């Protein structure tokens, strides 16, 4: 082998390695004098695609902040990765953002299973993570994660309280996504029903990929349930409602706060969401709320993201990112991870467009306040139960 060949063999892999690594990003700790790097994963495609708007809503807030000059002179460089609601892809996306882009913090991140797939990795790397978009209890007790999405136990509880105590339904059944989301909410539902001496008539699981729900609806119909509490993705909720209408099953549906985007749900159910008066839990302001902060975001969306639909999932992305912005502002110009952590731990009774947030060094738990909305006949939001704090012992 001649020298030229040997050099080629040696240098090609070395050069490939050098150029495949983004040295500018991997070197520091997620920020420099010019920018702070923040990431989020979310399903931009796949079965949970409507929830992809969350990550894009966060972008609106960061674009607005950048338009106003950034935070202490630093712009937010924001990365969105599509994981298709698939945990294996979430891991790949997060590794890319951490190892190659060197992000400082994560915001949101839709889904229990995708979040669980990356939780230990983010925790080990001590990466600030604010507002994971799930209320599953498996995310509690993580010192680098601050939660906004209400605990699914509380979500199940508020739905059951409204069905059993406000609406006085005695025959209540449950249809749920077969994962931690459905399991955690079930505990809350059963706790409320128990104190009202009501037995859950049936608990029927559904997989996020299922498209034919005839047998599940037949099972619910056979119980004669007056109300069905549903904890499932938009696609399955829409199909469940369509199927129940097609077999003449009349019941009051009460769904998760993850389905409180009424215009969207009304659209994909061809108006059934409004016709059947579906109710959902909620933990943010109504998107039509005439408040200074909501008006500010609405105007910003018209200017900075004119093609985006102004929907609940979109504004949820803003709500998820607000506390990180507050903490970055409070941390000052001399930024560090520890300062942001301390600032997040010091947020007390502060509210943006989400719920009132209080975090301490010892508790990063989500707020326990929720409300109930009903889809009105024209698809409008009717508040049927305003902010209510869940005081039920959650057994944590």
- Beta carbon of residue 252, minimum distance to other proteins (angstroms, whole number): 18
Tell me the C-alpha distance between 244 and 217, whole Å.
6
N- to C-terminal Cα distance for the chain? 68
Q: Please tell me whether residue 43 binds other proteins under the rule CB under 8 A.
A: yes
- Beta carbon of residue 379, minimum distance to other proteins (angstroms, whole number): 13
- Beta carbon of residue 229, minimum distance to other proteins (angstroms, whole number): 16
Tell me the C-alpha distance between 167 and 163, whole Å.
5
Q: Please tell me whether residue 311 binds other proteins under the rule CB under 8 A.
A: no
Map the footprint of other proteins across residues 332-351, applying CB under 8 A: none
- Beta carbon of residue 301, minimum distance to other proteins (angstroms, whole number): 17
Map the footprint of other proteins across residues 120-179, applying CB under 8 A: 178
Residue with tokens 């060197």: 102
Q: Please tell me whether residue 42 binds other proteins under the rule CB under 8 A.
A: no
Count of residues making up the chain: 396
Map the footprint of other proteins across residues 185-224, applying CB under 8 A: 204-207, 209-212, 214-216, 218-219, 221-222
Q: Please tell me whether residue 86 binds other proteins under the rule CB under 8 A.
A: no
319 Rama sector, left if φ>0, alpha if ψ -120 to 50, beta otherwise: alpha
Tell me the C-alpha distance between 391 and 155, whole Å.
12
Q: Please tell me whether residue 13 binds other proteins under the rule CB under 8 A.
A: no
Q: Which residues, listed in sequence order, are joined to residue 110 by a DSSP beta bridge?
A: 133
**H or E segment and range at residue 82:** strand 75-82
50 or 150, CB closer to other proteins?
Answer: 50
Per CB under 8 A, the list member of 30, 39, 42, 52 interacting with other proteins is: 52
Determine the size of the site formed for other proteins (CB under 8 A). Answer: 39
User: What 3-state class would DSSP assign to 119?
Assistant: helix
Buried b or exposed e, range 68-93, using 16+ CB within 10 angstroms = eebbeebbbbbbbbbbbbbbebbbbb
The site for other proteins (CB under 8 A) is made up of 43-47, 49-50, 52, 178, 204-207, 209-212, 214-216, 218-219, 221-222, 234-235, 238-239, 242-243, 245-248, 267-270, 272
């Amino acid at each position: 082998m001649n020298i030229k060949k040997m050099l080629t063999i040696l240098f090609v892999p070395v050069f490939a390695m050098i150029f495949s690594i983004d040295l500018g990003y991997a070197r520091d700790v997620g920020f420099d004098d010019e920018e702070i790097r923040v990431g989020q994963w979310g399903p931009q495609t796949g079965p949970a695609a409507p929830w992809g708007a969350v990550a894009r809503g966060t972008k609106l807030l960061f674009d607005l902040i950048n338009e106003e000059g950034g935070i202490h002179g630093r712009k937010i460089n924001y990365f969105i990765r599509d994981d298709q609601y698939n945990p294996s892809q979430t891991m790949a996306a997060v590794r890319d953002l951490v190892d190659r882009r060197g992000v400082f913090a994560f915001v949101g991140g839709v889904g229990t299973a995708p979040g669980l797939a990356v939780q230990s990795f983010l925790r080990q790397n001590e990466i600030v993570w604010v507002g994971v978009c799930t209320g599953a209890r498996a995310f509690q007790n993580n010192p680098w994660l601050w939660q906004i999405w209400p605990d699914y136990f509380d979500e199940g509880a508020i739905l059951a309280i409204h069905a059993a105590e406000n609406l006085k339904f005695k025959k209540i059944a449950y249809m749920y996504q077969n994962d931690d989301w459905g399991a955690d909410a079930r505990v809350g539902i059963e706790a409320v029903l128990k104190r009202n001496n009501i037995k859950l008539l049936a608990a029927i699981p559904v997989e996020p990929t299922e498209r034919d729900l005839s047998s599940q609806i037949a099972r619910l119909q056979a119980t004669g349930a007056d109300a069905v509490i549903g904890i499932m993705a938009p696609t399955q909720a829409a199909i469940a409602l369509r199927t129940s209408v097609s077999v003449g099953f009349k019941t009051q549906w009460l769904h998760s706060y993850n389905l409180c985007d009424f215009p969207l749900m009304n659209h994909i159910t061809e108006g059934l969401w409004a016709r059947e008066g579906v109710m959902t839990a909620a933990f943010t302001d109504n998107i039509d709320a005439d408040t200074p902060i909501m008006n500010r975001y609405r105007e910003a969306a018209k200017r900075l993201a004119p093609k985006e639909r102004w929907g609940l999932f979109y504004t949820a992305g803003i709500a998820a990112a607000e506390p990180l912005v507050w903490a970055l502002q409070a941390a000052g110009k001399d930024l560090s991870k520890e300062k942001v952590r301390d600032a997040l731990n010091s947020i007390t009774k502060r509210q943006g467009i989400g719920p009132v947030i209080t975090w301490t060094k010892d508790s990063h738990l989500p707020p326990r306040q929720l409300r109930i909305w009903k889809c009105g006949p024209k698809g409008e939001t009717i508040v049927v139960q305003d902010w209510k704090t869940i005081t039920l012992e959650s057994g944590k």
